[in-house]
């Protein structure tokens, strides 16, 4: 997968654009977040840079060195600073209960590691901190077959459902949890009508 993402991100054009994800942007503003934010699987940095411009202290990571290069370039062009590490979660020295918020924006993981990875990530959030998630729903497969440009995994087990969110993040108060049909306009690889899961949770003390 590292080679796949490096190949996608090595082009001059930003694969998913430079504007933040709409749900992420709106949630950051609605919650009036401050403090520290962790962004796993952050790719080329569009959400990290937006959050930094809003005054958040951002740590992003991804397996792609090319993604990091683009993110650092974008941050420099927007005159903000982000910290960006390259590697898997288990390769990073991140402490439990150390982030005020964590956002998973189209972060899809292999089925055999997804549940444990989600739980490990949740442990990094402080009590009363927030988890923000938007990802493709299991019901996106039919739309993807009609229009491959909408993007997302073709493997159902890598996709999200509302019940999965409830089960995995059962120590979070649900502020918002919905399945929505939206129109994506994010760079070259997220375009068209998609079915997504959106979740905002507050970690219980």
Summarize pLDDT for 115-146 with one digit per residue, the tens: 999 999 999 999 999 999 999 999 999 999 99
- pLDDT, tens digit, for every residue of 164-182? 999 999 999 999 999 999 9
Confirm if 143 and 192 have CB atoms less than 8 A apart. Answer: yes
Domain boundaries, the chain: 2-203
Question: In angstroms, rounded to a whole number, what is the distance separating the alpha carbons of residues 57 and 185?
Answer: 27
Instruction: Specify whether domain 2-203 bears CATH 3.40.50.150.
Output: yes
Residue among 100, 101, 82, 83 nearest 92 (CA): 83
The pTM for the full model equals 0.97
| Other Cβ atoms within 10 Å of 156 Cβ, number | 12
Query: pLDDT band at residue 205, thresholds of 50, 70 and 90?
Result: confident
């Amino acid at each position: 997968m590292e080679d796949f993402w490096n190949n996608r991100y090595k082009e001059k054009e930003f694969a998913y654009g430079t504007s933040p994800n709409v749900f992420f942007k709106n949630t950051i503003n609605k919650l009036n977040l401050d403090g520290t934010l962790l962004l796993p699987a952050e790719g080329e940095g569009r959400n990290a840079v937006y959050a930094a411009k809003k005054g958040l202290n951002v740590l992003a990571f991804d397996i792609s060195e090319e993604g990091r290069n683009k993110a650092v370039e974008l941050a420099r062009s927007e005159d903000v600073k982000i910290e960006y590490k390259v590697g898997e979660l288990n390769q990073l020295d991140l402490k439990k209960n150390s982030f005020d918020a964590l956002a998973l924006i189209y972060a899809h993981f292999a089925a055999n590691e997804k549940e444990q990875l989600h739980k490990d990530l949740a442990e990094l959030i402080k009590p009363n901190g927030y988890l923000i998630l938007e990802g493709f729903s299991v019901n996106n497969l039919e739309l993807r077959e009609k229009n491959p440009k909408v993007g997302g995994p073709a493997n159902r087990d890598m996709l999200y459902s509302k019940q999965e969110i409830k089960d995995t993040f059962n120590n979070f108060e649900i502020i918002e949890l919905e399945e929505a049909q939206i129109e994506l306009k994010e760079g070259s690889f997220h375009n068209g009508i998609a079915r997504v899961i959106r979740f905002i949770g507050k970690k219980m003390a």
